[in-house]
C-alpha cells in the first residue's frame, strides 16, 4: 500500500510540474469561456503542424506570463483539426496556426497578424486587455530609439553626427543586426556627439520618416553628418562591429576600438614621445636632464603633457620599477572594465603614455639606402 501511495504522489507531482496554463477549448466548453466577460487569445492549431509545434513552447510561456490574471484574460487553444474542427470552420480558419483575439463581449474576433515571439504576443495581449504580463522588461538598449516625435531633435541636431538604422520588428536581417548594433552603441557611449540610433520604420506613426528618407527595404542605415543634414550618407559597409567602428571613427573623427576603448594613439604627443623613449634607455644622470627638457617643452603643450612628466618624476625619484608595475596595473583595469566608460578613457590614455617609455622602434632601411651605404664603402 505504501508503495502504491508513493507512486501516486510521484505521479501527482509530475503532473503538477507539467500543468499548462493554456486553456484547452472544445465545442463543448468554448462558449463557457469566450465572450463571457473576459477577452481571450485563442490559437487554432493542428497536432501535425510544424509551425504549431514551434509556437507551442512560446505559447506556454505566454500563458504563464498571464497566469496571475486568469480572471481578466484567457490564453487558450483549439485543436482545429481534431475535436475542435467545427470551431475552426465556424471562425474561418484555413491555415495553422491561426490566432484570433476575442473581446470580452463576444464580438467578431480579430485575427492576430503580429510576430510569434514572446514579446510581440505579450505586448499584443497587454495592449488589448490592459493586463500587464509578468515578463520582466529587458534593459533599455544602448542605442537611442527614435520616432516621428524625437527624430529631428536628435538626427538633425547640427552639433551631432548620427547613424540611424531604419528597421522593422519582423525583419530577419534586422534581428541579426540588433546585437551587433547594440555593441556598436556601447562602443560609442562616451562619445556624446557621435550618436547611434534606431527607428522602427514599419511602425504606422513612423512611416512618414520612411517615406521622407526613401526607406524601401530593411534594414536601411543612414549617417547624418552634423555639417550636412540635408544629404544623409547611405551606409553600405559590412554589418559587423569592426566595420561600423571603422566607419564611425572616420565620419565622427573619433578614435574608438571594438569593445569601446580608445585606440593606442590617444593622449600621445609626438614631441614628448621622443623624449620618453630616450628617457627609458638613459642613465639616472641623463634622465634628470631629460626631465628638465620635458618640463620646458610641456609648458608649451598644455595639460596633455602632465602625465609624461608624472611618469618621469616617479622614475627619477627612485621608482625604477614603476613603469612595469603601473603598466601591468592599468592593463588589468582595462581588461576587467568594471569602471565607468569615462574613467576607462582616462586609464587608457595613461596606459598609452606609459607605452611611450620604451625603446624607439628600429627603422628598417630601404633598399636604396642600403645601396648608397654599399657604394660609400
Active site residues: 49, 52, 171, 174
Using a CB cutoff of 8 Å and minimum separation of 24, what contacts does 289-298 make?
Answer: 291/316, 297/271, 297/272, 298/272
* Alpha-carbon span 355 to 273, nearest angstrom: 9
* Alpha-carbon span 101 to 186, nearest angstrom: 39
* Alpha-carbon span 343 to 333, nearest angstrom: 10
Cell of 163: 547613424
Q: Are strands 23-25 and 74-79 parallel, antiparallel or unpaired?
A: parallel
Residues 6+ apart with CB under 8 A from 276: 294, 308, 311, 312, 353, 356, 357
* Alpha-carbon span 101 to 40, nearest angstrom: 6
Sign of CA dihedral 17, 102, 46, 97: negative
Distances from the Cα of 218 to the Cα of 168, 206, 213, angstroms: 6, 14, 13
* Alpha-carbon span 298 to 269, nearest angstrom: 10
Amino acid at each position: 500500500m505504501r508503495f502504491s501511495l508513493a507512486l501516486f504522489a510521484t505521479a501527482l507531482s509530475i503532473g503538477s510540474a507539467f500543468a499548462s496554463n493554456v486553456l484547452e477549448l472544445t465545442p463543448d466548453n468554448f462558449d463557457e469561456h469566450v465572450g463571457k466577460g473576459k477577452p481571450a487569445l485563442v490559437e487554432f492549431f493542428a497536432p501535425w503542424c510544424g509551425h504549431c509545434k514551434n509556437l507551442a513552447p512560446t505559447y506556454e510561456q505566454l500563458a504563464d506570463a498571464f497566469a496571475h490574471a486568469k480572471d481578466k484574460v484567457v490564453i487558450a487553444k483549439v485543436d482545429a483539426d481534431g475535436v475542435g474542427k467545427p470551431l475552426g470552420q465556424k471562425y474561418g480558419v484555413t491555415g495553422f496556426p491561426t490566432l484570433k483575439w476575442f473581446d470580452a463581449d463576444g464580438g467578431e474576433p480579430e485575427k492576430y497578424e503580429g510576430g510569434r515571439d514572446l514579446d510581440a504576443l505579450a505586448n499584443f495581449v497587454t495592449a488589448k486587455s490592459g493586463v500587464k504580463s509578468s515578463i520582466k522588461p529587458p534593459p533599455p538598449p544602448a542605442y537611442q530609439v527614435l520616432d516621428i516625435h524625437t527624430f529631428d531633435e536628435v538626427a538633425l541636431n547640427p552639433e551631432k553626427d548620427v547613424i540611424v538604422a531604419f528597421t522593422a520588428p519582423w525583419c530577419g536581417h534586422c534581428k541579426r543586426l540588433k546585437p551587433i548594433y547594440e555593441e556598436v552603441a556601447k562602443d560609442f557611449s562616451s562619445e556624446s556627439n557621435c550618436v547611434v540610433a534606431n527607428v522602427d520604420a514599419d511602425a504606422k506613426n513612423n512611416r512618414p520618416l520612411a517615406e521622407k528618407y526613401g526607406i524601401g527595404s530593411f534594414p536601411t542605415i543612414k549617417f547624418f553628418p552634423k555639417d550636412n543634414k540635408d544629404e544623409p550618407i547611405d551606409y553600405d559597409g559590412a554589418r559587423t562591429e569592426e566595420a561600423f567602428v571603422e566607419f564611425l571613427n572616420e565620419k565622427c573623427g573619433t578614435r574608438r576600438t571594438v569593445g569601446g576603448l580608445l585606440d593606442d594613439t590617444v593622449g600621445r604627443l609626438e614631441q614628448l614621445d621622443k623624449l620618453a623613449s630616450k628617457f627609458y634607455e638613459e642613465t639616472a644622470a641623463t634622465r634628470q636632464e631629460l626631465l628638465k627638457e620635458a618640463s620646458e617643452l610641456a609648458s608649451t603643450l598644455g595639460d596633455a603633457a602632465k602625465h609624461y612628466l608624472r611618469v618621469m618624476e616617479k622614475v627619477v625619484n627612485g621608482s625604477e620599477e614603476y613603469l612595469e608595475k603601473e603598466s601591468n596595473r592599468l592593463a588589468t583595469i582595462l581588461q576587467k572594465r568594471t569602471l565607468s566608460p569615462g574613467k576607462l578613457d582616462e586609464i587608457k590614455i595613461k596606459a598609452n603614455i606609459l607605452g611611450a617609455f620604451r625603446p624607439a622602434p628600429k627603422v628598417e632601411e630601404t633598399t636604396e639606402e642600403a645601396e648608397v651605404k654599399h657604394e660609400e664603402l
